[in-house]
Every structure is written in C-alpha cells, then in structure tokens.
C-alpha cells in the first residue's frame, strides 16, 4: 500500500476515534443526567424525551456504556441506573 494511502487511512482513523470520544462524552453525560432525574417531578414531555434517551442508552453494549461513563468520569449507582 503506498505511503500516501496509509497516511490518508491513518488520518481518517484518527478523525473517527476523535468523533467516538466526543460521542462517548455525550452519551456518558446523558446517562448521568437520566439516572439523576426523578420522573415524578418532570413534565410529561420531558418524561417522554428522557424515556427515549434512556431506551437508546440501554440499547448500547455494556462495554460502550462503561466507556461513555468513564469518558465523563461518572459512576452510576445500581439503584439509580438508567432504565
């Protein structure tokens, strides 16, 4: 493989890894926010949005969720875990 192609692939991979880190921070922050919410105190529209986010987060592989929480330096207690 020519040197230029390798350099282009390396650049693309670095860009994708940077995007992954940014997305992990967003997911980690969203998970922490959802876990800290009291759904009984939220307006109906907010509960529906929180449920949508929680459902998407719960669909992630466990390792990805751990990476996301680590990206924002957050630990979620079991009793307040994202539902």
pLDDT in tens, 8-47: 999 999 999 999 999 999 999 999 999 999 989 999 889 9
Judge contact between 82 and 54, C-beta under 8 A. Answer: yes
- What's the whole-model pTM score? 0.80
- By percentage, how much of the chain surpasses pLDDT 70? 92
* pLDDT of 69 above 70: yes
Longest Cα pair distance anywhere in the chain, in angstroms? 60
- Helix, strand, or coil (residue 75): coil
Position 75 scores a pLDDT of: 79
In sequence order, which residues have a C-beta less than 8 Å from that of residue 55 and are 6 or more positions away?
none
Q: How many residues does the chain have?
A: 83
Report CA 42 to chain centroid distance, whole Å: 22
Sign of CA dihedral 28, 21, 23, 57: negative
What is the average pLDDT value for the chain, to the nearest integer? Answer: 90
């Amino acid at each position: 493989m020519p040197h230029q192609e390798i350099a282009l692939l390396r650049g693309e991979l670095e860009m994708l890894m940077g995007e992954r880190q940014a997305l992990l921070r967003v997911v980690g922050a969203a998970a922490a926010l959802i876990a800290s919410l009291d759904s009984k105190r939220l307006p109906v529209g907010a509960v529906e949005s929180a449920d949508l986010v929680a459902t998407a987060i719960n669909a992630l592989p466990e390792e990805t969720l751990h990476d996301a929480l680590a990206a924002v330096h957050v630990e979620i207690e079991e009793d307040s875990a994202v539902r």
